Amino acid sequence: MKRWILALALFSVVGFCDVRLPSIFSDNLVLQQKSGNPIWGWADPGERVEVKTSWGENQIARAESDGSWMVIVNTPEAETGHKVTISGENKIVLKNVALGEVWICAGQSNMGWSVANSFEAEGEADVDLPDLRIFRSAREHWHEPLQENRDRLAEWKPCNPDSAAETSAVAYYFGKTLQNKLGVPVGIIQRAYAGTPIEGWMPWNIQSDDPRARAHKKELDDSANRLISRGQTKEKAINAFEQELADYNARIDKGETMKNAFRFLSPPIITKPANLGHQYPGNIFNAMIAPIAPYAIRGIIWYQGERNAKNSPQAEHYRNQLKQMIGYYRNLWHGKSWGSVSDGFPVYFTQLPSWNPPQTKPVEGVESPWVVSRESMLKVSKELYNTGMAVSIDTGDAIALHPKNKKPIGIRHAYLALGKTYGFPIVHQGPVFSDFKIEGKEIRLNFSSKGSGLTGSREEPLDSFAVAGKDREWHWANAMIEGGSIVLSSSKVNKPVAVRYAWAMNPSERNLLYNKEGFPASPFRTDDWPLYDPKSELVEVTKPTKPKGYQPKDWIRPAIKN
């Protein structure tokens, strides 16, 4: 009976006899300029579907036996005010269509952290950017790939104070900076889900040979089996979900939009058993990525990794998983778009910010897995074509896992895109360590991406470097900037052999290294010494206790000068 109710509810929503589109095709959408753009949907099997655009494209498809159809619509240079008409037995007209640059902004909670909850919220209270458009749908996960999302309120929204406030702050400042610098419409597709590991963002079949992914899956399967043995079965969970979904659809059909005074209605989600939950391998991909592929995009920015940096071995392994995910997404989009989307599109990711008490030791150890995660991302940025990393160690918070200083991260992602993707002749990242030379009692470090010179975050000697001799004992180093190099020494190390920089969970209060254009350097090391003993007991990152009445505060950092 419940399944019949669900089927009836879905029938009333989508109207299977009519040509229909997924929600990502709505008024105000942005299509990727100067590109092939897949447009797809459903109709009666064999139905003729025609797609016409106001710029002169005319494409025809026939629905397959399962009702699906897709065409590729080519776009000219950036413009606004267009329309797209889809005709079959019925007609759909998409209005106020823009042609511009489209980016996906994906990740876990810090990617989803809204402008309204950020330090910068007041400065955006009067924003009016009609050519910055945002598509944001409710969080969903599922145990099988979805063809479309269940969120019936999701639609493209031009940027105004209301839509900006609910948008990811990182995505917003990324998109706003791009739109301002490029002078063309920019579309942001936000796909964020709190508390999700990278295993959830990839199909299970591509990671089933990964021992860490298998261990993660087994842990959740064991948890699920314990619940199932007590009668909390998958069938019961799905039946309850179907009833809640029918109730959700019924409220939407009545014209309701709000769950309460502050929250929009959203489709239900399943939390238990764990193999139906949001941390299970593949379940986020199935609902947050599968329904929007292959929408034509320029690239992706990614902010995730906290959930995969609970200990050092896990954080080190993230390097393999991030490369695997990027490669899979590129192949997926390229294949499903019939070659319209490049199989090497840019992917830029956020290096984890500072968290935990400020650094006091020259080098932290296994208790600080986030620095291992930062190294994993740094390696990916060097190993994988057309990738880049937004360094964020000068943002974050000693206590809060969700820091409010998101604006610098979004802007740095935009500069990566401006420099690497759009070819602007600008400095787009901080100093990148290239090599070193031992000069007696000193070590000289050389860098690329120096811009107009190296500098600290304040007018004081740099104090974020450590040196060690063959004994592998780390000591704070005296640091002198000499042209494009930094020369390090320590009275406690007569024969230095290795250097580490900002090697801690939270180095944000040290005098960090920047170039004069205002971009920080990533933590790095010159050694290849093991970061942990694989035979030792795992050491998990410690979550700080939040004092009563704690209020996060931002701090001054060098401004970007470009």
- Tokens read off for 310: 């609970």
For residue 309, the one-letter residue type is A
- Tally: H helices and E strands in the chain: 11, 25
The mean pLDDT value for 503-528 works out to 98
Query: What is the predicted pLDDT for the residue at 15?
Result: 43
Determine the Cα–Cα distance for residues 277 and 224; give it in Å rounded to an integer.
10
Residues 420-430: pLDDT tens digits? Answer: 999 999 999 99
Q: How many Å from the N-terminal Cα to the C-terminal Cα in the chain?
A: 63
For residue 20, the one-letter residue type is R
Q: Is 324 exposed, middle or buried (0-12, 13-18, 19+ CB in 10 A)?
A: middle
| Cα 406 from chain centre | 13
Return the residue matching tokens 């010179």: 453
Helix, coil or strand: residue 482:
strand
Taking 70 as the threshold, does the pLDDT of residue 478 lie above it? Answer: yes
Q: Is 444 exposed, middle or buried (0-12, 13-18, 19+ CB in 10 A)?
A: middle
Which range, of 262-266, 399-403, 505-509, averages the lowest pLDDT?
262-266
Determine the Cα–Cα distance for residues 340 and 356; give it in Å rounded to an integer.
44
The mean pLDDT value for 155-171 works out to 96
Query: What is the predicted pLDDT for the residue at 261?
Result: 79
Q: Is 144 exposed, middle or buried (0-12, 13-18, 19+ CB in 10 A)?
A: exposed
Tell me the helix, strand and coil percentages in the chain, rounded to 5: 30, 25, 45
Query: What is the predicted pLDDT for the residue at 263?
Result: 86
Q: Determine the Cα angle at 35 with ends 294 and 154, to 5°.
A: 45
Q: Which residues lie below 8 Å from residue 379, measured CB to CB, with a gap of 6+?
A: 319
Confidence grade of residue 382 (pLDDT, cut at 50, 70, 90): very high
Taking alpha carbons only, the member of 28, 55, 220, 256 closest to residue 143 is 220
Taking alpha carbons only, the member of 202, 217, 376, 361 closest to residue 286 is 202
Mean per-residue pLDDT over the chain, rounded: 95
CB distance 386 to 344 below 8 Å? yes
Taking 50 as the threshold, does the pLDDT of residue 3 lie above it? Answer: no
- Tokens read off for 63: 């629905």
The mean pLDDT value for 405-427 works out to 97
Helix H, strand E, coil C: the string for 373-398 is HHHHHHHHHHHCCCEEEECCCCCEEC
408-437 CB burial, b ≥16 within 10 A, e <16: bbbbbbbbbbbbbbbeeeebbbbbbbeebe
Query: Which pTM was predicted?
Result: 0.95
Cis check for the bond before 496: say yes or no (omega within 30 of 0).
Answer: no
Which range, of 16-20, 324-328, 417-421, averages the lowest pLDDT?
16-20
- Tokens read off for 266: 């959203």
- Tokens read off for 209: 């040979």
Taking 70 as the threshold, does the pLDDT of residue 524 lie above it? Answer: yes
Residues 69-82: pLDDT tens digits? Answer: 999 999 999 999 99
Q: Determine the Cα angle at 115 with ends 286 and 174, to 5°.
A: 70
Determine the Cα–Cα distance for residues 204 and 211; give it in Å rounded to an integer.
12
Taking 70 as the threshold, does the pLDDT of residue 13 lie above it? Answer: no
Confidence grade of residue 120 (pLDDT, cut at 50, 70, 90): confident
Determine the Cα–Cα distance for residues 283 and 286; give it in Å rounded to an integer.
5
Cis check for the bond before 403: say yes or no (omega within 30 of 0).
Answer: no
Strands 454-456 and 442-448: what pairing? unpaired
Cα dihedral across residues 57, 61, 14, 286: positive or negative: negative
